[in-house]
Amino acid sequence: MAENVVRGGSKYVGAVENAVSILRFLTHTHAPAGVARIARETDINVSTTFNILRTLVKEGLISFNPTTKDYSPGVGMLEFAVPLLGTNQIDLLRPNLQDLSLRHRVLIGLWKITPNDRIVLVDRVIEGNIVRVDMALGSRLPAFVGGVGRSIASTRKLSRSELKRRFDSLRWQNPPSFESYAEDVARARETGYAFDRGNLFQGLDIASAVIVDYEGNARFGISGVSIIGQMDEKALLALAEDLRDTAARISSALYGRCA
């Protein structure tokens, strides 16, 4: 009988979670793997791993090489992937934005990072508060400004002098010092999220994180924006952590980026 796990008041089926963990590992590892390695990397019992693998092979989702005893993604995975291949990435990401906005009752923005180091607001969702912030779709900003900008900067391997050069070209309503900005970027590199506390736009708190590709290049930014005072420090931190975790899941799903 499958083990059911209760978390946060909801019941989940452990066997399904294990199967998903195995599929994620096989699709992200980019090389065939044997039972022992799969069990070790997914932290699943070896016998359980073997039984799940055998079932997934039967369903065509993964393939088995009887010579090497290795498993790899199977052509059956295309049955689920093909319907999504023609879907706009922004449409795929919108449910994540809606969930974030509903949980935290703030404006959630999705920013596309362009090749010429600009960010463009390509989607935004507003749920909750009667008095709320809004931003126009298509808004464009320099890539290194604001909360998203700090997050983007944290993914780049820039010297301090180059970061200073980029910083000096930015325009803010309430400019931070470069020392403060550089500290924020370094902190974002460690935590996976960043804040802008009334610098880019006076009166607004912004939390942010970035979606990165397999090589760690920032592709999208996600921001949560509220009027200063609407969220206390604990709520703002919870928002930032949720943005980070959501961005990590999307990075894994879209680009195969593992944390």
Domain ranges of the chain: 4-82, 88-255
DSSP string, 22-36: HHHHHHHH-S-B-HH
| Residue in the block written with tokens 């059911």 | 4
Is the domain spanning 88-255 CATH 3.30.420.40? The answer is: no
Tell which CATH classification among 1.10.10.10, 2.40.40.20, 3.40.50.10490, 3.40.50.1820 matches the domain 4-82.
1.10.10.10
The span from the CA of 155 to the CA of 196, in Å, is 17
**What pTM does this model have?**
0.71
pLDDT per residue over 111-144, tens digit each?
999 988 999 999 999 876 656 788 889 999 999 9
| Cβ partners under 8 Å of residue 258, min gap 6 | 28, 252
| Cβ partners under 8 Å of residue 19, min gap 6 | 52, 55, 56
pLDDT per residue over 49-66, tens digit each?
999 999 999 988 888 988
